[in-house]
Amino acid sequence: MGRRGKKKGRPISGWVVLDKPVGMGSTEAVSKIKWLFQAEKAGHAGTLDPLASGMLPIALGEATKTVPYVQDGAKIYRFTVAWGQERSTDDLEGPVTKSSDLRPAEAEIKALLAKYTGVIMQTPPQFSAIKIAGERAYDLAREGETVDIPAREIEIGRLDIIEHHADDTVFEVECGKGTYVRSLARDMGRDLGCFGHISNLRRVEVEPFTPEDFVTIAELEAARFGAQGEDKPQSADDADAIEVPVDFGAIDALLVDTSAALDCLPQIAISDDAATKIRLGNPVIIRGRDAPVEAEEACATARGKLVAIGAIEQGMFKPKRVFAG
């Protein structure tokens, strides 16, 4: 007997701006979304730890080509630092490694914030996805190894105190790519002499998306399965044995357009004929009084639909990455 072929998904494209719940890993979330949409392809724009909640932008189909632009966007986190303990993972997951009876006053914390604002050097946590000699740091840490992770440059736009209590402080930070909030908690705790770790972490925004774009797993399931209610399948394995009516209209309506990830680029409107040429990999002359003559990267659209990302040189658009029509 021949082997059963693997089911091919739908060629659906767009962004799911998921409000990821605590306890769900980023890879698990991507798999769930890919299954709900029955998508051919899916990926996320920046890992969010299982103990963290909030914005996890997930790209479907052609939107996966725009993931780097979202990864490079600024991020906003709301987080709580519990004072008095440092943990191996710098959050609630790991055991306590250092402790103190000291607790910082709000004035002490405020005096420290300038040190953590602007371009600074930061050492990622031992339990992180950083590669050391080809292996993930968290794999080495789980084996009991202490690894030397080099500090790297990050940028923090702002770091504000939202609430202060005797044993913990709530902060909000706006930061660039590569920032570890767990490292902020660890380093502030050490500077204050009382130690600290993350007890709550929520990603509020990932540029260019905002909280208005949020959608939950429950909302997606309701859109996908409608009146099935409690009879809906709970996983892809369950779905194999259940007849589910196929109507993707409601769930597809919850997608954010692929082009939203490219708001940071100059937008060039082109004709249908020019779009056809570009999709074949050919350059086209850019017309229009306001069209830029030079741009390292720009986004070409036809009838509001994304066509390509490319460079503009001497008034000509040269495609680098083309999107299906």
Mean per-residue pLDDT pooled into runs of 10, the chain (325 residues): 62 97 96 96 92 97 96 96 96 94 98 97 80 67 72 96 97 95 97 98 97 96 76 50 65 95 91 94 84 87 93 93 88
pLDDT at position 125 is: 85
pLDDT at position 140 is: 63
pLDDT at position 251 is: 96
User: For residues 59 and 43, is the Cβ–Cβ distance under 8 A?
Assistant: yes
pLDDT at position 235 is: 54
Tokens 């204050």 belong to which residue? 192
Q: Is the dihedral of CA 118, 119, 120, 126 positive or negative?
A: positive
Q: What is the pLDDT of residues 168-184, one digit of tens each?
A: 999 999 999 999 999 99
User: For residues 83 and 196, is the Cβ–Cβ distance under 8 A?
Assistant: yes
pLDDT at position 238 is: 46
pLDDT at position 324 is: 87
> Is 148 one of the annotated active-site residues of the chain?
no
CA distance 70 to 74: 8
* Catalytic residue, candidates 49, 90, 91, 187: 49
Q: Which residues contact 74 (CB under 8 A, 6 or more apart)?
A: 157, 174, 175, 176, 205, 207
CA distance 300 to 315: 13
Query: What number of helices (H) and strands (E) belong to the chain?
Result: 9, 17
pTM: 0.88
